[in-house]
Structure 1
Amino acid sequence: MRALIIEDDADLREQLRTQLRDEGYAVDATGDGEEGLFFAGEYPADVAIIDLGLPGRTGMEIIREARAAGRSFPILILTARGRWQDKVEGLEAGADDYVVKPFHPEELLARLQALLRRSRGWARSLLECGDIALDTARQEVRVAGEPITLTAYEYRVLEHLMLHAGEVVSKTDLTEHIYEEDADRDSNVLEVFVRRLRKKLDPDGTRAPIETLRGRGYRLRAEPAGE
């Protein structure tokens, strides 16, 4: 998953960046409103955390303009403004949730995970496709009830495919959602991640959970092959 943080408090911004990276997110971050508006319009974020009081452009302006441009990723407002009028204004501008500073990091993470699940039509933290189960809260993966160990990037690939189960996900889209903007991207490396995932999810080669559609990308089967 790829998160966008727009927060002008440098210490808090770095705290959030570290926290989300530790949870497996690729993170883009800025403390400037103008740059944040650019990021929101150009970067393929899965979720955004936006402060309201920003230099250049306010958080409200960023939210309104992002929504007007058709950007539909979940947005969580993070601000010191606790008045109910500010909350209403933020939600009416297009935000999906609201957290007031100071806050507990665990609450913020739980809210982000809930926003991501709801945006993809999942009601629980446990994603299940056939006999593959991925617990987003614990970041644990089981196949037919047995735990498997994934690297950070393997987990990101699987999580994105599961959130889009049954859909074709292009290599470009998958790459953009697992890497940060300044990362060294290589489609050949992505193919290695997918190949390793296949071996871990289907060591016997009997279920083929991840399909390759030539020239189009990958698709995680919503049900095991043959059903």
Structure 2
Amino acid sequence: MRIDIITVLPELLKSPFEASILKRAIEKGLVEVHMHNLRDYTDLSYNQVDDYQFGGGAGMVLMIEPIDKCISSLKAERDYDEIIYMTPDGVTLNQKIANSLSLVGNIIILCGHYKGVDQRVRDAYITKEISVGDYVLSGGELAAAILCDSIIRLIPGVLSNETSALTDTFQDNLLAPPVYTRPSEYKGLKVPDVLLSGNFPKIEEWRENKAYERTKTLRPDLLNE
């Protein structure tokens, strides 16, 4: 997989890809992540990429021309499966979307900033608009990092134990059951006996029941889905 991220703040995006699972995925050659500074695609003075919005109103808007130049430059080199715009009014990211995107080859992610991007960018280039929640961030960079993390960890070979991703919360519309590790007792707090029994069918049954109970209590909406 190759992910190209278009941003006005590439320095804000570097650290998530320089540690832990994402770093190992890149080092293994399982994914390429490239940052593109939008200011490199403008001919205006002071590397300007934003302007006032027509009709008046507070907040600056990212202009269409530098975005067009950047996307066109990337598309001239390869085909892209999705061109994604990170925006608060997009479809809320969920596990189903992450699963689907983990199967594609090449993705462009456009990070919004200021008041957003010229609507013509969204109309002409964007194939999918994604939000990470019903709140507003200063820019789309952190949201893009979240999206990348949710996708990359699902690529075969990224996690040392691939079945781990398949048992994550939301994979089957259930929250994950409680988990425990050593010691089996700590200051009077005990691990449930069934988990120490070695009876794996019973353990799986316990986990399924607990997953259902937690989902029913905390996220009943998932059961309706």
Which TM-score bucket, shorter chain as reference? 0.3 to 0.5
Say which structure, 1 or 2, has more relative contact order (CA 8 Å, 6+ apart).
Answer: 2
Please report the TM-score for the alignment, with normalisation by the length of structure 2.
0.32
